[in-house]
Structure 1
Amino acid sequence: MLRRTDRTRRSAAVAVVTAAALAFGLAGCGGSSSKNKDGLGTAAAFSVSDRKPFPMLSGTTLDGSQLDMNSFKGKVIVVNIWGSWCDPCQAEAPYLEHASEAYKDKGVQFVGIDTRDNTGQAQAFVRAKLISYPNLVDGDSESLLTKLAGITSLSSVPSTLIIDQKGDLAWRALRPVTFTDLSAALDTVLSGK
């Protein structure tokens, strides 16, 4: 039988471990607390006058086809950076797919960037989560992510970026997102704000 002090210590240890796991989960797979120079754990909208051009990426998708984001010019583009190994990425995937379906007839195109991942596991993730939008493969080289230096934190997975119709970064979340997050941001960008 455990003595009262042993139970108290064990309860305290469980509480510390739980709090640490929760903090890690909320920060995302690649992030840390929101109090840092990269803005990890935050979401921000950029005014039209403060937006920077987004590099239109191209490469091979998880299904083996080629994709050039220039083919989506004139549309609002949502870019989600993810990995199948990332628990917050798994949690947000249904919200992203739901938003993709809800906004596809409103001039919005979703594109995923699978990074630091095993291609087979990433393909299984996309099938299991019923993700219908294309996903570029970044792999271990991170050649796509390096093109986003200065636009987003390269260490924050998941991250979601919204590019306006002119090709400029309008919104960025360096944390997991929900459908509510995405729909509010998309409605604002689609309205021209």
Structure 2
Amino acid sequence: MRKLVYYVASTLDGFVAGPDGADPTGPDGFWPIPEDYLRYLAEHYPETLPGPARQALGITVEGTRFDTVVEGRRSYEIGLRAGLTDAYPHLRHLVVSRTLGKSPDPAVEIVADDPLAAIRELKRQDGKDVWLIGGGDLAGALYPEIDELVLKTAPMTLRTGIPLFGRHDHGFDPRTWQLTDHHVLGSGALFLTYTRSTPAGPASA
């Protein structure tokens, strides 16, 4: 069965974006992107780089982890503002939104109804794992179905911003995770992979 993997950049204090939710890695962003960080992404997670970045770096390999990406409307609109109607043309691309309406791109699928049901159906299908790119609020809504966390932890703190699982209160639901892989870069970034220890689905009593 396919896994839903929340693969996301996080600060040491658990934020995935600043208070305004803008792209922290964009031209005006604050996220550090040293050379060894970008090289590690290109070598180990090439499918998670946007189409223009793959083209600029000469990356043509499909990648081994993901063939599908899921994101929320706010995350998707970051690409739209940059003129990208499909930032990941090499992946099946789904956007969860009740307000977006018609898709701006024929290759991008809109999930307007229950996102948990949509993810459960995706996980039953054949294929590689499903990449949850964010944002935090969508990750909070999909929390019961997240099987693995891959945290690209930057050596920085924000004090405030968008938390890993968003600002909305989805309820108290403690879960345990097992560290299954880790890699430390010379620049200080950590790649931490955690697999869910407690079963996915509704919280246990």
| TM-score (normalised: structure 2) | 0.27
TM-score w.r.t. length of structure 1? 0.28
Rg: which structure is higher?
1
Name the structure with the higher strand share.
2
